Amino acid sequence: MKAYNVAIVGATGLVGQEFIKVLEQRTFPMASVHLYASDRSAGKKLFVGHQEITVKETSPESFQHIDIALFSAGAEISHYFSPIAARSGTLVIDNSAAFRMESKVPLVVPEVNPEDIKWHEGIIANPNCSTIQAVVALYPLHKVNPMKRIIISTYQAVSGTGSAAMEELTTQAKLVLEGQNVIPHVYPHQIAFNLLPEIDVFLDNGYTKEEWKMVEETRKIMHAEDIAISATCVRVPVFIGHSEAIHIEFTHPMTPEEARGILAHAPGVKVLDDPNVSLYPQPWLAAGSDDVFVGRIRADASHPNGLAMWVVADNLRKGAALNAVQIAEEAAQRDWVKTQS
């Protein structure tokens, strides 16, 4: 089996750290691994397996001889460095929103549209974390009974904003419990013991960018331009694990039993659904796990073709690092990665 020269850009961040874990855990075939971040982290040492590696500042030269670069350093860095890397023959798998809706860039969730990897021109986009877990649960049902309308409400963990937000929740929670005032830095308002229906910027249509990403990305990944989709995305004081209440209108009725049966055999999905014993997905149970957990599957009483469900996953793993590494695995298995050496 071929082994690849791999680079992680944003290696010191939450997703970058998860990349290192996932690559190790899945024994991705690596000939070498190179860690990049900003100048602030240059010289820092991180372990990949037993190998101690020095983090370097990202530069246009970082990608020479790199076969696969996993980017998790934000959209601005991706915008600048990804085309440079792609031009030097590196396959870029980008976690940011920089290229997701570009027509020449595949947007991939391997359980749904792995064949889209084939038409990449050097950059493949990893979808938004809340979109990934939604489509893993939606697509197996959509294949059997096409969906006409989807309404999603999310409850998103602070780790989705990065390491500074994790610290902010810890600090604020302590201050609130001590009866002290909180001054928000990362979010516009206090996040501890609160909810914020604002993720990313507001758009002219009244949605936030996060909500609109869910609409557009879901359609692109599922190749289903006609599905009507609406989303409300809410930041909640949970460290890891995004949760979603999803209401679906199908072309024909689908019983909860049929949906449970389909999802029980769907790739990447684990059904946890027994109200009699309060069994349903929860973020703290999903944290650290690779699966997308689905429960509370029930008929939507408001529509004869309706179904409702509750979907939870680890946003740093399936919502980010794991999905990107699975894309790299698919590309490697199908020999769709050019090697440089």
Ligand X SMILES: NC(=O)c1ccc[n+]([C@@H]2O[C@H](COP(=O)([O-])OP(=O)(O)OC[C@H]3O[C@@H](n4cnc5c(N)ncnc54)[C@H](OP(=O)(O)O)[C@@H]3O)[C@@H](O)[C@H]2O)c1
Residues 96-135 that bind ligand X (CB under 6 A): 96, 129
Provide, for the chain, the percentages of residues in helix, strand and coil under a 3-state DSSP scheme, each rounded to the nearest 5.
35, 25, 40
Out of 106, 110, 114, 160, name the contact with ligand X by CB under 6 A. 160
Is residue 10 part of the contact set for ligand X (CB under 6 A)? yes
Is residue 340 part of the contact set for ligand X (CB under 6 A)? no
- 3-state SS, one letter per residue, for 214-283: HHHHHHHHHCCCCCEEEEEEEECCCCCCEEEEEEEEECCCCCHHHHHHHHHCCCCEEECCEHHHCECCCH
Out of 22, 73, 309, 325, name the contact with ligand X by CB under 6 A. 73
Closest distance to ligand X from the beta carbon of 13 (Å):
2
Closest distance to ligand X from the beta carbon of 97 (Å):
7
Instruction: Retrieve residue 135's tokens.
Output: 């489509």
Please give the Cα distance from 305 to 281 (Å, whole number). 24
129 is catalytic: yes
Is residue 154 part of the contact set for ligand X (CB under 6 A)? no
Contact residues for 53 (Cβ-Cβ < 8 A; gap 6+): 33, 34, 35, 45, 46, 47
Binding mask 258-297 for ligand X (x = CB under 6 A): ----------------------------------------
Q: Which residue's CB is nearer to ligand X, number 116 or number 217?
A: 217
Instruction: Retrieve residue 136's tokens.
Output: 């893993």
Please give the Cα distance from 90 to 84 (Å, whole number). 9
Out of 3, 24, 74, 234, name the contact with ligand X by CB under 6 A. 74
340 contacts 2 by C-beta, under 8 angstroms: no
Of 204, 166, 201, 202, nearest to 185 by C-alpha is 166
Closest distance to ligand X from the beta carbon of 311 (Å):
16
96 contacts 115 by C-beta, under 8 angstroms: no
Closest distance to ligand X from the beta carbon of 177 (Å):
25
Is residue 163 part of the contact set for ligand X (CB under 6 A)? yes
Catalytic site residue from 242, 247, 252, 265 = 242
Out of 38, 113, 289, 340, name the contact with ligand X by CB under 6 A. 38
233 is catalytic: no
Contact region with ligand X (CB under 6 A), list: 70-78, 198-206, 219-227, 228-236? 70-78
Q: Which residue's CB is nearer to ligand X, number 16 or number 306?
A: 16
Closest distance to ligand X from the beta carbon of 89 (Å):
21
Helix 209-222 to helix 129-144 angle (10° resolution) is 40
- Output the CA torsion 283→326→160→270 (10° steps): -20
Residues 313-332 that bind ligand X (CB under 6 A): 315-316, 319-320
Q: H or E element: which one contains 173?
A: helix 163-177
Is residue 92 part of the contact set for ligand X (CB under 6 A)? no
Of 202, 205, 189, nearest to 233 by C-alpha is 202
Q: Residue numbers of the site for ligand X (CB under 6 A)?
A: 10-16, 37-38, 40-41, 58, 72-75, 77, 95-96, 129, 159-160, 162-163, 315-316, 319-320
Which residues are annotated as catalytic? 129, 242
